[in-house]
Amino acid sequence: MKKLTLYTTCMLLISGCTNRAYIEPTEPHAATLEFVNRIDNPDLFYSAFTYKDIKQCTNRQNVAFMSKEKNKTVKIKPSEPIVITSIIPQPTGVETILLVGGFGAIGAIGALASGTKYGECKPTLEFTPKENHHYKLMMSTNAKGCEFSFTEIDPSNNANPAFEFVAHKWKPAFTEDGAWCD
């Protein structure tokens, strides 16, 4: 529990506590996106973000933060492309804290330091949701790190694990408004 508190506190300090909350659409035919947390380690958490500008993933918005919760579902706007980044921090040691502390800055330097902290658990996926469809993004951990699965479920409850999406390369930004992907 102490580790979770320390990691959460460090993440809040590193991120500068400035990302904005995602606002769900109110449309009657909105699609839904379910984040499924299958993390075995109780010291790790799962967070998800989206961006107002999807070209370079700028103006980051917080969609979900789950530590003990196993699922969270949000509405997403249909027929408009969206980029979602899911992250399971993989703590790598004190070098992140020393980098931030050594420069005495939290914002921009924190973003640079976080690149080493996240490891390879940060799929950044772009897709165009369909009306009344449900999407499921499952993150899990194993001995090698983490893995994810992304599935589309139509209104008749038929799963389509091979639907079209584009994977972007995630990168740390200098600010919450900066570019978070290539």
Give the whole-angstrom CA distance, residue 151 versus residue 161.
4
Q: Tens digits of per-residue pLDDT, 26-41?
A: 999 999 999 988 887 7
Between residues 145 and 169, which one has the greater pLDDT?
169
Q: Tens digits of per-residue pLDDT, 120-144?
A: 578 899 999 999 999 999 888 777 7
What lies within 8 Å, CB to CB, of 9 at 6+ separation is none
In the chain, the number of structural domains is 1
Residue 178 lies in a domain: no
Q: Tens digits of per-residue pLDDT, 57-69?
A: 999 999 988 876 7
Q: Tens digits of per-residue pLDDT, 69-94?
A: 788 999 999 999 999 998 887 655 43
Rg of the chain over Cα atoms, rounded to whole angstroms, equals: 16
What lies within 8 Å, CB to CB, of 129 at 6+ separation is 31, 33, 76, 77, 78, 79, 80, 82, 135
Q: What 3-state class would DSSP assign to 107?
A: helix
Residue 18 lies in a domain: yes
**Structural domain boundaries, residue 56:** 2-168
The model's pTM is 0.72
> What DSSP string runs through 70-101?
-EEEEEE-TTS-EEEEEE------THHHHHHH
